[in-house]
Amino acid sequence: MSEGSGRVPWRDVGRSLRNPNVRRYLIGQGVSNSGKWLEQTAELWLLLQLTGSGIAVGLHSVMLYGPILLFGAYGGVISDRVNRRHLLIATQSLQALATGTLALFTFAGSPSVLLVYSLVLTQGLIGAVDNPLRRAFIRDIASDDEIANAVSLHATTATLARISGPALAGFLIAGFGLGWCFLLNTVSFGAVLISLFTIEPDRMRPSEPVRRRRGQLREGLAYAWRHRDVRVTLLLAIGVSIFAWNWQIVLPVYSTVVLDGNAALFGTLVALLSLGSLAGAIVTARKERLGERHLRRSAAALAFALIATSLAPTMLVAIIGLIGVGAAGTSFIIGSQARLQLSVDDVRAGRVLALYSVGFMGSKPLGGLYAGIVIDWIGSRAAFGIGGGAVLLFVAALMVSGRRRRRDRLGIRHGAGEET
């Protein structure tokens, strides 16, 4: 490795796994994430069977992610007030209980729409605490030198789960029935619980829980806005989420109308985009530092990949563009999370990482609305292209802001030199 390259040899791409606590936690999360996608795919199929309604299926996302938008910031406050390991054991156990209940009713042949929605909403409410909690817990088990790599590997396992979970769900639904999907996810929570119970406390560096007092949520918001690194990362992540990371909405129309394909082509393109995400996560794991330059470059690469996809004259160019979307988008997501992890202090880590969850995941409905309007008015090509252009504007604004900051610093230094 050349000096100053910022990359480690390929043999060290999993260097944070040398920490046994990180290794156990990521293995547990990898198994559980596969189970999560397995269950979500089965839930959507079950709702379609019970109702035959697209709206009913769409409400699943509202129930699952709506609580993060509404209560995720408060979940971050709770994360800063408690022992995160103990609370994670509780949230994971409750989610296992909800999934196990759905498995029981499905095997009994009596699942109802109300039951499915109730259990999905329960998981969403638990997730409003659990989601920022899992992000912040990485700080408790990894050193500053390990955080970026641990976040990269966590994204890698999540991407693999997004590929393997739905595929396994299709096999189980066709061959054995829906109940086995829910049962296997219930069992998969055991991997997380085992990892949490076997983590070595003396190797951890947990922050002291913050004493409860009024105004802590407002304090977290003020801290995020006051610190430029945190503010810029959050704003750029929200922009990417709304304008660029909405391919799930655009791709079905793009694959059928623009590329004149069918459901098989759509599935193939999703798989290729996911493989791009996996490649982006692995390559990013080699990097030692994930600062503002990485954010700018990965966001710009995502923008150009979207624009290339929107202008693609052939199927091959479209495929290359979509692989680039997956790789650059995942690299940006990893970089933004790692930068926040390293920018925020221990006292407010839960609240700031919760703001990331609210901003990135909670803005998905806005991204879906934007994409839907553009698709109806102009077309799916325009949805990709306008999204890419919007991200480029965000990157340009970030570059201008960085130059002003450097110019101001130089001005202060020169002024101090003249006075002396």
- Quick one: 15-198 is in which CATH superfamily? MFS general substrate transporter like domains (1.20.1250.20)
- Same CATH fold assignment for domains 15-198 and 214-420: yes
- The answer to whether 307 and 328 have CB atoms below 8 angstroms apart is no
Q: Which of 259, 311, 19 is nearest to 139 (CA)?
A: 19
Q: Which of 335, 338, 316 is nearest to 327 (CA)?
A: 335
Burial of 205 (0-12, 13-18, 19+ CB in 10 A): exposed
Give 314's contacts (C-beta < 8 A, 6+ positions apart): none
| Distance separating alpha carbons of residues 349 and 342, to the nearest angstrom | 9
| Distance separating alpha carbons of residues 243 and 224, to the nearest angstrom | 22
Could you tell me which CATH class the domain 214-420 is placed in? mainly alpha
At residue 327, the pLDDT reads 93
Q: Which of 122, 120, 371, 112 is nearest to 241 (CA)?
A: 371
| pLDDT tens per residue across all 420 residues of the chain | 333 346 767 677 778 889 999 999 999 999 999 899 889 888 888 887 888 776 677 677 778 888 888 888 888 888 888 888 999 999 999 999 999 999 999 999 888 899 999 999 999 999 889 988 888 888 889 888 888 788 878 877 887 787 778 778 878 888 888 899 999 999 999 999 999 999 998 888 766 777 777 777 888 888 888 888 888 899 999 999 889 888 877 887 888 888 988 767 877 887 888 889 888 888 887 777 778 888 999 999 999 999 999 999 999 999 999 999 999 999 998 888 888 887 887 777 778 888 888 888 777 777 777 888 888 888 889 999 999 999 999 999 888 876 776 665 655 555 555 443
At residue 257, the pLDDT reads 85
| Distance separating alpha carbons of residues 314 and 322, to the nearest angstrom | 13
Q: Where are the alpha helices (DSSP H) in 144-291?
A: 144-175, 178-198, 216-226, 228-243, 247-253, 263-285
| Distance separating alpha carbons of residues 129 and 219, to the nearest angstrom | 18
Q: What are the structure tokens assigned to 56, written together?
A: 């009913």
At residue 6, the pLDDT reads 64
Burial of 373 (0-12, 13-18, 19+ CB in 10 A): exposed
Q: Which residue has tokens 């750029």?
A: 236
At residue 403, the pLDDT reads 73
Q: Which of 200, 242, 252, 251 is nearest to 360 (CA)?
A: 242
At residue 263, the pLDDT reads 65
* Distance (Å) of CA 380 to CA 21, 315, 367: 45, 15, 14
In this prediction the pTM is 0.75
- The answer to whether 357 and 132 have CB atoms below 8 angstroms apart is yes
Q: Which of 33, 45, 266 is nearest to 162 (CA)?
A: 33
- The answer to whether 413 and 325 have CB atoms below 8 angstroms apart is no
Domain extent listing, the chain: 15-198, 214-420
